[in-house]
Amino acid sequence: MTPNTDRNQQLFERARQRIPGGVNSPVRAFRAVGGTPRFVQRAQGAYFWDANGQRYIDYIGSWGPMILGHGHPAVLEAVQKAAVEGFSFGAPTEREIELAEAICERVPSVEMVRLVSSGTEAAMSALRLARGFTGRPKIIKFEGCYHGHADALLVKAGSGLATFGNPTSAGVPPEVVQHTLVLEYNNVAQLEEAFALHGKDIACLMIEPIAGNMNFVRAQVDFMKRCRELCTQHGALLVFDEVMTGFRVALGGAQSVYAKQIPGFAPDMTVMGKVIGGGMPLAAFGGARAVMEQLAPLGPVYQAGTLSGNPVATACGLATLKEISKPGFYETLGASTRSLVDGLKAAAARQGVGFSADCEGGMFGFFLLPELPQNYGAVMKSDSPAFNRLFHGLLDRGVYIAPALYEAGFVSAAHTAQDIAETVAAAEAVFAAR
């Protein structure tokens, strides 16, 4: 028998002995697409190398944080200096203040901010704060929007309009999600009826303004405008989950994109992560001063975290924010992303493949569908076997996209025109061979 020389396979088999499914976050297991996960050995710029030494053009970028590419010199220098000073103190540091100031300066709706360690922690804390501030129990979320794995947010749509959700994970009792209303994304009529039925009990509406967990689906302007109007009318808080979009689609986040189209638009609270940590475990939630002052130790809503505001993570985040704030950064990044998306659409068209795509800033998504879907139900009509063939075809040609049909992709400042040209050529070869 020929011995297995694939180090990825060897590591995966070893990992499954001690780690459930062999991974520490489910999508990494390649269950959706089949095959063996790539175990990353190192990364630099727009590339990473797996355990076999194979190089890939990386369009995941740690699921969004690596907006500058891997190993940016200024970020590395900041992290190395901070690490020498100390890994963690469990006490305040000046760097925490600097990062909070940097976030508030770039996102006008955020007057105060609390740093935490993960997007899930930020989202569940924002939810608690919304309930504490309003004194109301119910929340609205949308099918296809992912806000981390907090119990109250792990729900799917029930049958009929504005029904209460059912848990989508074992271990979540039904009573935990009895106050969670799950609506269809971009459905104005359903949104209006939900507020008509439950408006006085709704604490907040939480939404991904550009959903990245049903691939890339943006909220329509009229829908977002109605979300804001109804929250204001009924005294509920509008909470933007910008863990993925924050500082990724624009310097002011997705909310700045909508503010250009809706006069005076702003959410009441914002959940952030990924880019603000530059790849380190760091996230945040913030908003209007009156809301944030309800947090302990000022107010009655309790939240705490031993590693919150970690000194190494804040150094990484600050260095990243400094780089992306330089003039012309987003114009260049957006042009690269648009070049990739346009190239993929043209390649699909030449090969007669049904294909649609969209992008904003350094975030993109595509569907093997003739038109862009507007909600999760439409996304579910995508051709999964065709996507799996495309995924593995690209992987074999040294291009790494998300190993799941329902995930957005990310371009970094390190991706070159040559990288994009190679990616488009690889995709066209896969389309032609279908």
Give 77-94 pLDDT, tens digit per residue: 999 999 999 999 999 999
What's residue 169's pLDDT?
A: 74
Residue 112 has pLDDT above 90, yes or no: yes
Give 214-225 pLDDT, tens digit per residue: 999 999 999 999
Rounded to two decimals, the pTM is 0.94
47 bridge partner residues: 44, 57
Q: Where is the domain boundary, 285, 300, 324?
A: 324
Return the H-helix or E-strand segment holding 47. Answer: strand 47-50
Alpha-carbon distance values, 401 to 345, 392, 398 (Å): 16, 9, 10
Alpha-carbon distance values, 430 to 302, 345, 426 (Å): 52, 13, 6
Give the N- to C-terminal CA distance of the chain in Å, as an integer: 33
Cα 412 from Cα 68, distance rounded (Å): 5
Q: Match 């998306």 to its residue by tokens.
A: 341
Do 412 and 332 lie in one domain? The reply is: yes
Q: Which of 57, 54, 44, 59 is nearest to 403 (CA)?
A: 59
Do 61 and 107 lie in one domain? The reply is: no
Q: Where is the domain boundary, 290, 324, 358?
A: 324
What's residue 283's pLDDT?
A: 98
Q: Match 């609506």 to its residue by tokens.
A: 183
What's residue 2's pLDDT?
A: 56
SS3 content of the chain, % helix, strand, coil (to 5): 40, 20, 40
Q: How confident is the model at residue 3 (pLDDT cuts 50, 70, 90)?
A: low
Beta strands in 78-214 (DSSP E): 112-116, 138-142, 155-156, 166-167, 180-183, 202-207, 210-211
What's residue 168's pLDDT?
A: 66
Give 263-307 pLDDT, tens digit per residue: 999 999 999 999 999 999 999 999 999 999 999 999 999 999 999
Residue at 2 is within a domain:
no
CATH classification of the domain holding 303: 3.40.640.10
Q: Classify the C-alpha dihedral 82-88-94-97 as positive or negative.
A: positive
CATH classification of the domain holding 34: 3.90.1150.10
What's residue 156's pLDDT?
A: 60
Rg of the chain's alpha carbons, rounded to an integer? 22
Residue 426 has pLDDT above 90, yes or no: yes
Q: Match 């800033």 to its residue by tokens.
A: 361
Return the H-helix or E-strand segment holding 416. Answer: none
SS3 state of residue 197: helix
Q: Are 313 and 305 in contact (CB under 8 A)?
A: no
Contacts of 89 (CB under 8 A, 6+ apart): 311
Residue at 103 is within a domain:
yes
Q: Average model confidence (pLDDT) for the chain?
A: 94
Residue 26 has pLDDT above 90, yes or no: no
Cα 354 from Cα 385, distance rounded (Å): 14
Give 160-171 pLDDT, tens digit per residue: 333 344 556 777
Do 81 and 209 lie in one domain? The reply is: yes
Do 113 and 178 lie in one domain? The reply is: yes
What's residue 5's pLDDT?
A: 84
Give 182-232 pLDDT, tens digit per residue: 999 999 999 999 999 999 999 999 999 999 989 999 999 999 999 999 999
Amino acid found at 279: G
Do 153 and 37 lie in one domain? The reply is: no
Cα 165 from Cα 259, distance rounded (Å): 31
What's residue 174's pLDDT?
A: 77
Q: Are 300 and 131 in contact (CB under 8 A)?
A: no
Number of domains in the chain: 2
Do 335 and 301 lie in one domain? The reply is: no
Do 126 and 247 lie in one domain? The reply is: yes
Residue at 91 is within a domain:
yes
Query: How many Cα atoms occupy the beta-carbon half-sphere of 195 within 13 Å?
Result: 21
Do 247 and 331 lie in one domain? The reply is: no
For 189, the token pair is: 């009529």
Residue 178 has pLDDT above 90, yes or no: no
The dihedrals phi and psi of 369, each to the nearest 5 degrees, come to -140, 150
Do 252 and 112 lie in one domain? The reply is: yes
Instruction: Quote the distance between the C-alpha of residue 233 and its chain's center.
Output: 29
Return the H-helix or E-strand segment holding 30. Answer: none
Do 171 and 203 lie in one domain? The reply is: yes
Q: Are 79 and 272 in contact (CB under 8 A)?
A: no
Q: Where is the domain boundary, 270, 289, 324?
A: 324
Higher pLDDT, 27 or 1: 27
- The region, left, alpha or beta by phi > 0 then psi within -120 to 50, assigned to residue 215 is left
Do 28 and 166 lie in one domain? The reply is: no
For residue 164, the 8-state DSSP code is B
Return the H-helix or E-strand segment holding 285. Answer: strand 283-287
120 bridge partner residues: none
Do 127 and 60 lie in one domain? The reply is: no
Residues with a catalytic annotation lie at: 146, 241, 274
Residue-number span of the structural domain to which 78 is assigned: 73-324
Q: Which of 118, 114, 78, 109 is nearest to 96 (CA)?
A: 114
Q: How confident is the model at residue 159 (pLDDT cuts 50, 70, 90)?
A: very low
